[in-house]
């Protein structure tokens, strides 16, 4: 099945997908800040460049997109119709890399929390209880 967009249009769409300052990340940053915690963003010296780093507490938070990191929710189970094998390999590579980074961080003494994009759609119900438990509020 052919792509519904032209090559130039698809390229433009893909170029607009951000890795920093995404809406889910901004929601989590706002919640953590409202809880009274201060953090650093995207520290390059840590494996995986975690989205939020709380150095005083030795904790890091990743905010993952469900599609890109293959969450088990309905958004993460979507299978692209075109170039399916490429996307499957890419997404599986992301999952393997995430696992490697979490393992490295834990070995270095960091506590790691992953917040999924779908959880940020209802922050009161899912994100806040998880953050409170993780941060020890």
| Token couple for 86 | 């490429």
Please state, in angstroms and rounded to a whole number, the distance separating the CA atoms of residues 137 and 132: 5
Radius of gyration for the alpha carbons in the chain, expressed in angstroms and rounded? 16
Domain span at residue 45? 19-135
Its pTM stands at 0.88
H-state helical runs in 7-79: 7-15, 23-34
Report the SS3 class of residue 121: helix
Residue 1: predicted pLDDT: 53
Amino acid 125: pLDDT? 86
Residue 66, CA distances (Å) to 9, 70, 108, 112, 134 in order: 23, 6, 26, 18, 20
As for how many domains the chain has, the answer is: 1
The verdict on residue 9 lying in a domain is: no
Q: Is residue 61 part of a domain?
A: yes
3 within domain boundaries: no
- The answer to whether position 6 is within a domain reads no
Could you tell me the mean pLDDT of each successive run of 10 residues in the chain, 137 residues long?
79 82 95 96 97 98 96 93 92 98 98 97 89 91
The CATH number for 118's domain is: 3.40.960.10
Q: Are 102 and 46 in contact (CB under 8 A)?
A: no
Task: Provide the token pair at 13.
Answer: 């769409």
- The answer to whether position 26 is within a domain reads yes
């Amino acid at each position: 099945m052919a792509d519904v967009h032209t090559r130039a249009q698809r390229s433009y769409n893909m170029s607009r997908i951000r890795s920093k300052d995404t809406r889910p990340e901004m929601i989590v940053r706002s919640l953590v800040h409202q809880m009274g915690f201060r953090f650093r963003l995207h520290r390059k010296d840590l494996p995986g460049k975690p989205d939020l780093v709380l150095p005083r507490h030795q904790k890091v938070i990743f905010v993952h997109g469900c599609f890109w990191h293959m969450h088990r929710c309905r958004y993460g189970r979507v299978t692209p119709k075109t170039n399916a094998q490429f996307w499957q390999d890419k997404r599986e590579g992301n999952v393997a890399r995430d696992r490697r980074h979490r393992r490295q961080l834990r070995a270095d003494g960091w506590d790691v929390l992953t917040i999924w994009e779908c959880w940020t759609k209802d922050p009161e119900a899912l994100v806040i209880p998880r953050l409170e438990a993780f941060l020890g509020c």
